[in-house]
Amino acid sequence: MDKHGLEEFDYERDNLHIRLKKHSLHAQGAFRPFPAPEIHVAGGSHSSQQAAPAATAPREAAADAGRSDDLHVVKSPIVGTYYASASPGSEPFVAVGAHVEAGQVLCIIEAMKLMNEIESDVAGEVVRIFVENGQPVEYGEPLFGIHPHRKK
Amino acid sequence: MFRKILIANRGEIALRILTACKELGVRTVAIYSEADRNALHVRFADEAICIGPPRSSESYLNIPSVISAAEIANVDAIHPGYGFLSENANFAEVCEASHLTFIGPSPDTIRLMGEKDKARQEMAAAGVPIIPGSPGIVPDEEAARKIATEIGYPLIVKAAEGGGGRGMRVVREQGDLMPAFQTARTEAEQAFGSPNVYIEKLIERPRHIEFQVLGDRHGNVMHLGERECSIQRRHQKLLEESPSTVVDTKTRKKIGDQVVKALQKIGYFSAGTVEFLREESGKLYFIEMNARIQVEHPVTEMVTGIDLVKSQIRVAAGENLVDVVGPVEFRGHAIECRINAEDPVTFTPSAGRITAFRVPGGPGIRVDTAAYADAVIPPYYDSLIAKIISHGHDRAEAIARMYGALGGFVVEGIKTTIPLHKRILTDADFVAGNFDTHFLERSSFAAAK
């Protein structure tokens, strides 16, 4: 991929839409500049995965997260690269201590050059961020630990 | 050669590809679903990435997830194995668009071979015999009579939109043609909403014979002999062998040459299998081509000494077939038994935990498996848990070695097809080479239920 300095490339077939932009992102590399995110919905599979992930048993990484029973772990719904902010240099979507609402964007996971906004499925306080900006993440990898607000 | 390959598969074939990559000094990336967290392909790969939940459609078949994993791992090629995305022309195209080498034929070739009617026409045009029949729909009695005279009896009238035996009539003599033609049309109309039927020569007691081929990106194609895969049930192959007891040197050369010529014309590269039906007279008719590595490829590897998966990777990297394979020589006889996690009598899948697992060995025995003691066979994927391949200097030795190996193969906790294979290997007709694709439906096997 490095060999090809792609600027932009659109590919469409059936319900799959790939948009290759400037080729600058790498799993191993540090966070590098990329164009302002454009949110595409990449076919049915991705849009459904964008829905809030189910809170199943947290993995090891989450186990030491504060040991609070009501810690809600938001996991990555797709494999890709994690970005904390909408564009390089801009403020992260959330930081530890922030209060978030259900449906609020927490981060972006880039998969196949598509920027997928990951939303919180609960309202609460962000108490832990398990990943670092630019890091590759697997499906099901814990991203955030959130203390849900008590229901009134 | 590639630097790093992503293996877009699981189970024994993922391990098989891993082995080939290690020999070539290529780094490997495994992908896996949540159900395969403890699978061996995950453990033995240099890197492993979880790409989704257990269901194949959301993991191993999910193109964006597979491509995304390839990108974050920064690989230069993807090996699809068999099944899953291996014959998905769309996926091969996405790989190309993402500058990843798809280890398989071109998207156009995959698409062509996926459209069975078109593939048959192309192969026929390139000189490979296909089953004689009407070129398309048979519109009326007059046309039916004409085509029947041409191809002879017995023949079969089939619904164009059909399946499952409806709208289908076997005709053994001319006097039965018109009633059969009319009934098939009426049945087709009622069952599928269209009276369209076509007519084809009936292949009685067919045997399934297939030719292994390998092509490079420079226009070279070669065949590596045939495999006999007639021992099947519900169109699933269960036992394969090479050479076939009914293919002689002359036929092998004739059909092999036809296949090579046709595939050169089509521009085929990578590994592939050209499938034929053999009628009792000895004539072979092309039915379809599988544009991928196959489950039963080790049978050919054993008799030719050629590593097909390694060769497939090398030609994908642009190497010339002449350097990769060299002259082909056939030695001895090889048999493969597919060990499935299923009830050997009812054929229902038997998922669960393997409590004991002991693999046989000895001269001429090879076992390809990703199973182990304490492994859990998930219910989401196919039921193949191991392949035993035996090799002997002749068929009798290969059978004897296989029978011994089956006896020394211990799998506890789940049911397998091991007992069924033992019965096949000791069946007088099997030993005599007297069988066809209906072998397992015969009374002696049906009675064991």
CATH number of the CATH domain containing B151? 3.30.1490.20
A119 and chain B in contact, CB less than 8 A: no
pLDDT at A18: 57
How many Å apart are CA B361 and CA B260, to the nearest integer? 36
My answer on whether B211 and B329 are in the same domain is yes
My answer on whether B193 and B212 are in the same domain is no
Asked if residue B367 belongs to a domain, the reply is: yes
Asked if residue B295 belongs to a domain, the reply is: yes
Asked if residue A4 belongs to a domain, the reply is: no
Q: Is the Cβ pair B97, A9 closer than 8 Å?
A: yes
What tens-digit pLDDT sequence spans chain B (449 residues)? 999 999 999 999 999 999 999 999 999 999 999 999 999 999 999 999 999 999 999 999 999 999 999 999 999 999 999 999 999 999 999 999 999 999 999 999 999 999 888 899 999 999 999 999 988 889 999 999 999 999 999 999 988 876 666 778 999 999 999 999 999 999 888 888 889 998 999 998 999 999 999 999 999 999 999 999 999 988 899 999 999 999 999 999 999 999 999 999 999 999 999 999 999 999 999 999 999 999 999 999 999 999 999 999 999 999 999 999 988 999 999 999 999 999 877 788 888 999 999 999 999 999 999 999 999 999 899 899 999 999 999 999 999 999 999 999 999 999 999 999 999 999 999 999 999 999 998 866 755 54
CB-CB contact of B128 with B286 (8 Å): yes
My answer on whether B320 and B390 are in the same domain is yes
- DSSP H helices, B321-364, are 321-324
The pLDDT-based confidence of A14 (bands split at 50, 70, 90) is low
My answer on whether B167 and B304 are in the same domain is no
How many Å apart are CA A17 and CA A38, to the nearest integer? 13
pLDDT at B316: 98
Give the strand pairing for A136-137 and A80-83.
antiparallel
Q: Quick check: ipTM above 0.85? A: no
CATH number of the CATH domain containing A122? 2.40.50.100
- Report how many domains make up chain A: 1
CA distance B81 to chain A (A): 21
Asked if residue A1 belongs to a domain, the reply is: no
Q: Which two tokens stand for residue B398?
A: 């290969």
Domain that holds residue B189: 141-201
Asked if residue B235 belongs to a domain, the reply is: yes
My answer on whether B322 and B433 are in the same domain is yes
My answer on whether B187 and B225 are in the same domain is no
- Report how many domains make up chain B: 3
Q: What are phi and psi of B4, to 5 degrees?
A: -150, 130
My answer on whether B194 and B223 are in the same domain is no
* Nearest CB partner across the interface for B51, out of A16, A81, A139: A139
Which pLDDT tens digit goes with each residue over A87-102? Answer: 888 999 999 999 999 9
The pLDDT-based confidence of A16 (bands split at 50, 70, 90) is low
Asked if residue B126 belongs to a domain, the reply is: no
Which pLDDT tens digit goes with each residue over A51-71? Answer: 333 333 334 444 444 455 689
Before B243, cis peptide (omega within 30)?
A: yes
Asked if residue A83 belongs to a domain, the reply is: yes
CATH number of the CATH domain containing B362? 3.30.470.20
Binding-site residues on chain B for chain A (CB distance < 8 A): 34, 49-53, 57-59, 62-65, 67-69, 71-74, 90, 93-94, 97-99
Q: Is the Cβ pair B67, A112 closer than 8 Å?
A: yes
Asked if residue B28 belongs to a domain, the reply is: yes
DSSP string, A98-144: -EE-TT-EEEEEEETTEEEEEEPSS-EEEEEE-S-TT-EE-TT-EEE
User: Which of B103, B130, B158 is a domain's end point?
Assistant: B103
DSSP code of residue A92: B
Mutate to test the interface with A, among B60, B95, B98 (most CBs of A within 10 A): B98
- In this structure, the number of other CB atoms found within 10 A of the CB of residue B86 comes to 23
My answer on whether B321 and B279 are in the same domain is yes
Among residues B182, B208, B210, which one has the least CA distance to residue B195? B182
My answer on whether B219 and B359 are in the same domain is yes
Asked if residue A27 belongs to a domain, the reply is: yes
Asked if residue B373 belongs to a domain, the reply is: yes
Q: Chain B partners of A10 at a C-beta cutoff of 8 Å?
A: none
Asked if residue A2 belongs to a domain, the reply is: no
Active-site annotation holds for B395? no
CA distance B392 to chain A (A): 46
**Please, which residues have CB within 8 angstroms of residue B224's CB and are 6 or more apart in sequence?**
B211, B212, B213, B214, B300, B304, B306, B308, B328
Domain that holds residue A58: 9-148
My answer on whether B156 and B270 are in the same domain is no
My answer on whether B46 and B170 are in the same domain is no
Angle at B110 between CA B29 and CA B334, to 5 degrees: 70
pLDDT at B234: 81
Q: Chain A partners of B71 at a C-beta cutoff of 8 Å?
A: 1, 27, 112
CA distance B153 to chain A (A): 44
Mutate to test the interface with B, among A11, A110, A112, A131 (most CBs of B within 10 A): A112
| Active-site option among B292, B314, B338, B401 | B292
CATH number of the CATH domain containing B87? 3.40.50.20
Q: What are phi and psi of B242, to 5 degrees?
A: -150, 135
Asked if residue A3 belongs to a domain, the reply is: no
* Nearest CB partner across the interface for A78, out of B65, B71, B90: B65
pLDDT at B161: 77
Q: Is the Cβ pair A80, B72 closer than 8 Å?
A: yes
Q: How far apart are the first and last CA of chain B?
A: 52
A26, closest residue in chain B (CA to CA): B72
pLDDT at B233: 87
Stated pTM of the model: 0.84
My answer on whether B389 and B347 are in the same domain is yes
B49, closest residue in chain A (CA to CA): A138
Asked if residue B242 belongs to a domain, the reply is: yes
